[in-house]
C-alpha cells in the first residue's frame, strides 16, 4: 500500500516521541510500592499516560475502550499483550450467543481479540461484549485482520519483548468521486454516517486500523507499527511466493499521522510531560475456567 505522506512528515524531527496509553485509566494510580526505582530513560519513543479520546471510556478486566453512541461502535480499544496475559487458563469458545448482524458475509469482529485474553475467565468473556464488536466482513476477519492479530501475539512472546500495546478501531471514510477503490489513498474524508449501512444497529465501518507499540525489556520502545485495512479483504497474487504475514504488513502499513487524521484520534503527546520516567508494575488477578486463582503481571515504563 502506498502510504499518504503528510506535508510535514519528512521535515519534522523530534528528539523524543510520546505515545499515549491509558495505563492509569485501566489500573488506577500507582503507589510507591508499584514503582521500580531502577528505571532508566534511554528510548527515543516513550509511553505516557493518556487516552486517544475520552468519550464514554469503559474499563474491562484487561482492556479499555472509548465508545461512540452515534456509531454504536468503539472509537478505539486498547490492550496490553505479554507472556502473562497470553496464558491460556480457559478454553476458547466459538461464540457467546447468536450473530447479531444476521448476514452470512458479516461477523461480529472483535477489536480486543478473544485469543488475547484467555488468562482468566472474566477477561475472556469481556471480549464477547457487543461493545467490543464491529460489523466486519468474514473474509477480512479470517484473513488479513487475523494475520495481524497473530503477528501481535507472536511479538509479545519474543524473549526480548516486555509488552505489546495494541490499539484497534474502525474508520468511516468517503471515497473519491467516480473512483472505486479499497486503499486509503482512494478515500479522502470522513463519510456521512447516515450514508453508511448498519448491521445490528451498528454503523458498518469502511476500514479498520491497528496501532502496535512494542516495548522491550531493556526499556526501549519501538516506533509504532500502524495498519489500515479496508472492510473487503484484498488478495495479492504474490502471496503464495512470499511470507503471508509480510505481504499483509506491507500492503496495509500506514503512518500514525494518517490514522490520527482519518480517525480524529490522538495517539501522541506533542510536548514532553513533567513527570519522572518510572517502571509501573501491576498484578491483576482473576479465576480460571475451573475457578482456580490466576494472575497476570504487567510492567510498563511510563514517562
Q: Which of 119, 216, 126, 223 is nearest to 164 (CA)?
A: 216
What pLDDT, in 10s, does the model give residues 107-165?
A: 999 999 999 999 999 999 999 999 999 999 999 999 999 999 999 999 999 999 999 99
Q: Is the dihedral of CA 261, 235, 224, 77 positive or negative?
A: positive
Check: CB of residue 247 under 8 Å from CB of residue 266: no
CA 204/CA 26 separation, integer angstroms: 28
Secondary structure letter of residue 158 according to DSSP: S
CA 72/CA 69 separation, integer angstroms: 5
What pLDDT, in 10s, does the model give residues 244-282?
A: 788 899 999 999 999 999 999 999 988 776 767 888 999
**Crossing angle for the helix pair 144-156 and 244-252, to the nearest 10 degrees:** 110
Domains of the chain: 58-264 (3.40.570.10)
Position 189 pLDDT exceeds 70: yes
What pLDDT, in 10s, does the model give residues 4-36?
A: 434 344 334 457 899 999 999 998 876 665 666
Check: CB of residue 84 under 8 Å from CB of residue 62: no
pLDDT at 1: 40
Please name the residue ranges forming H helices in 104-255: 121-126, 138-141, 144-156, 244-252
pLDDT at 235: 57
Secondary structure letter of residue 186 according to DSSP: G
CA atoms within 13 A on the CB side of 16: 17
Angle at 255 between CA 48 and CA 105, to 5 degrees: 105
Q: What value does the mean pLDDT take over residues 70-99?
A: 88
CA 135/CA 30 separation, integer angstroms: 37
Check: CB of residue 180 under 8 Å from CB of residue 222: no
Report the mean per-residue pLDDT for the chain. 86
Phi then psi for residue 118, to 5 deg, are -100, 15
Its pTM stands at: 0.89
pLDDT at 154: 97
Check: CB of residue 254 under 8 Å from CB of residue 171: no
Rounded to the nearest angstrom, the gap between the alpha carbon of residue 242 and the centroid of all alpha carbons in its chain is 26
Cell readout for 285 is 488477578
Secondary structure letter of residue 221 according to DSSP: B
Higher-confidence position of 180 and 139? 139
CA 266/CA 48 separation, integer angstroms: 12
Angle at 41 between CA 14 and CA 87, to 5 degrees: 105
Q: Which of 77, 207, 79 is nearest to 144 (CA)?
A: 207
Amino acid at each position: 500500500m502506498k502510504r499518504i505522506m503528510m506535508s510535514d512528515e519528512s521535515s519534522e524531527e523530534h528528539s523524543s516521541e510520546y505515545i499515549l496509553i491509558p495505563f492509569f485509566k485501566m489500573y488506577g494510580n500507582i503507589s510507591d510500592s508499584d514503582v521500580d526505582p531502577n528505571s532508566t530513560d534511554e528510548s527515543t519513543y516513550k509511553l505516557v499516560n493518556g487516552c486517544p479520546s475520552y468519550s464514554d471510556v469503559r474499563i474491562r478486566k484487561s482492556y479499555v475502550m472509548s465508545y461512540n453512541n452515534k456509531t454504536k461502535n468503539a472509537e478505539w480499544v486498547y490492550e496490553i499483550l505479554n507472556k502473562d496475559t497470553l496464558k491460556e487458563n480457559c478454553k476458547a469458545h466459538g461464540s457467546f450467543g447468536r450473530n447479531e448482524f444476521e448476514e452470512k458475509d458479516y461477523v461480529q469482529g472483535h477489536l480486543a481479540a478473544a485469543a488475547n485474553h484467555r488468562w482468566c475467565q472474566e477477561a475472556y468473556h469481556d471480549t464477547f461484549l457487543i461493545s467490543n464488536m464491529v460489523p466486519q466482513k468474514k473474509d477480512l476477519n479470517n484473513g488479513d485482520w487475523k494475520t495481524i492479530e497473530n503477528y501481535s501475539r507472536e511479538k509479545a512472546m519474543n524473549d526480548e519483548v516486555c509488552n505489546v500495546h495494541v490499539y484497534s478501531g474502525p474508520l468511516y471514510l468517503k471515497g473519491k468521486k467516480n473512483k472505486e477503490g479499497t486503499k486509503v489513498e482512494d478515500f479522502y474524508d470522513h463519510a456521512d454516517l447516515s450514508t453508511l449501512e448498519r448491521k445490528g444497529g451498528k454503523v458498518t465501518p469502511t476500514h479498520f486500523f491497528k496501532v502496535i507499540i512494542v516495548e522491550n525489556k531493556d526499556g526501549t520502545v519501538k516506533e509504532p507499527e500502524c495498519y489500515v485495512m479496508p472492510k473487503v479483504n484484498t488478495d495479492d497474487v504474490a502471496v503464495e511466493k512470499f511470507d503471508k504475514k509480510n505481504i499483509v504488513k506491507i500492503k496495509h502499513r500506514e503512518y500514525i499521522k494518517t490514522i490520527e487524521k482519518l480517525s480524529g484520534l490522538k495517539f501522541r503527546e506533542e510536548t514532553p510531560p513533567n513527570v519522572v520516567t518510572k517502571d509501573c508494575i501491576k498484578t491483576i488477578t482473576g479465576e480460571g475456567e475451573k475457578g482456580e486463582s490466576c494472575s497476570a503481571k504487567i510492567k510498563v515504563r511510563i514517562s
